[in-house]
Amino acid sequence: MESFLKETLSYLPQNDLKIIEKAHFYAECAHAYQVRASGENYFSHCIMVAKNLAELKIDAATISAALLHDVLEDTLATEQELIKEFGEEIVNLVKGVTKLSKYKFDDEITAQAENWRKMLLAVVKDIRVIIIKLADRLHNMRTLSFLPVEKQKIIASESLNLYAPFAHRLGIYKWKSEIEDVAFKTLQPEQYNFIRTQWQKRDESNLENLISVENQIKNKIVELKIPFRITARPKNLYGIYKKMQRQNKPFTEIQDLFGLRIITDTVENCYAILGMINANFNLLDGSFTDYINLPKENMYQSLHLTVVSNSNAIVEIQIRTEEMNQRCEYGVAAHWRYKRKVESCEKDDNKNKHTESNLDWLKQFLEYQKEHNEPGEFLKSLRTECSFEQIFVFTPKRKVIKLPLGATALDFAYAVHSDIGDSFMGAKINFKMGTIDTELKTGDICEILTRKNSRPTSGWLEFAITPHARARIRKFLKEQIKKH
């Protein structure tokens, strides 16, 4: 216990440690006779989940709930007993991550859908629920090899399709990458080992090129006399695999296996560094994206560009401030990082409002799904909503509409307005006629053509991928059935 407090909770004030000590002792006793598949005492898992969260420097209530997260599901402890000992805030977090084990479902898909639905309703009330669940899944993935092969595949599939995208949606990239790579290794071991082997063969030459470009950039930034630091980062193996698929290229043609992250103090200095790189390096065509002026919905901000060095090495570069870098690592969890100085009420309100707005997408998703109980559709829509590869499409008046990668003209119509989607007749994309199933890409200008007597049909579900569009179409079709 002393080691745990000293190593992982040094950022918390002494008073906060009392409730954590109590939760530690309670959970250790509750799980005393339970053993994991690895042969370790079950409580070791609770400790590791808490440590994952402590890495985010999260608050004491969340750490306590992490230590207790399995007691309602796996021990004789009762909700009333926990409330008496730890209060409603901590118990509500524990309840949020507890599966519906007392209910019997017809099949595994229904059980999975209902457990996610229950958890997401809790997340809307308190986003820390999903952060605990992600920390729990991260440790389960790290110990996945101790389970039977079929069980490994089931857990890995859910992790790749739902947990990793959710971590992405919340901006916790560090966890997302690790979950993806373990799932990739479990589900597609041949492809994983091939890419890993090829990556290791190119590692040495890539590092040489990276160091060369890094030194050139450092020398030029020093001339600007602004604060900065540079870190190098390898791309995760699953990310490389997805890029090979997306671009239909073999591994040998994927150049930017490593990237440079340039971190400075202000937004102005981000653009100053960008200007310097533009003046001294050749940019790869179409590689620049400004996520500072147009942030992702998960709060991610950075300037992205890819340069070609004098030796023809291709290096991906990200430029951001320290604050942006914290959000990149920890996403929404950054809002619970402990502040040593007491924030004013105004600052605290702003923080809460920012966090609330970050959950708007989830509230809307649950609202869309309220009338649709089909488990497969619910999980499919959730995967789409969480898969966070975005495109930015413009209306003729240059309003930006954010959509998931793969979105069609029909999805765009519903994103502009539900009534426009319902009366969709066609679309002009970059001033040329497109079809209902035309996939859009970043930078497209899309004008929706409508007709009064045009109405959704069941065939439209083949062309819509966004939860909002699909829910609206299904609602219309259901209403038509009731009328007849």
Residue 73 bears catalytic tag: yes
Asked if 70 and 46 count as a contact pair (C-beta separation under 8 A), the reply is yes
d(CA 446, CA 431): 8
d(CA 467, CA 381): 5
Residue 88 bears catalytic tag: no
Backbone angles phi, psi at 176, to 5 degrees: -55, -45
According to DSSP, residue 38 is labeled T
Pairing of strands 258-264, 314-321: parallel
Please name the residue that has the structure tokens 């598949």: 37
Q: How far from the centroid of its chain's Cα atoms is residue 236's Cα?
A: 15
d(CA 139, CA 106): 29
Given the residues 21, 28, 73, 178, the one annotated as active site: 73
Asked if 356 and 335 count as a contact pair (C-beta separation under 8 A), the reply is no
What distances in angstroms separate CA 189 from CA 184, 242, 260, one per listed residue?
A: 7, 15, 28
Total Cβ atoms within 10 A of residue 204: 8
CA dihedral (167, 367, 390, 123) in degrees, to 10, reads -20
Given the residues 28, 74, 81, 323, the one annotated as active site: 74
Please choose, from the candidates 166, 107, 82, the residue with its C-alpha nearest in 3D space to the C-alpha of residue 376: 107
Residues facing 234 on adjacent strands: 258
Residues catalogued as catalytic = 73-74
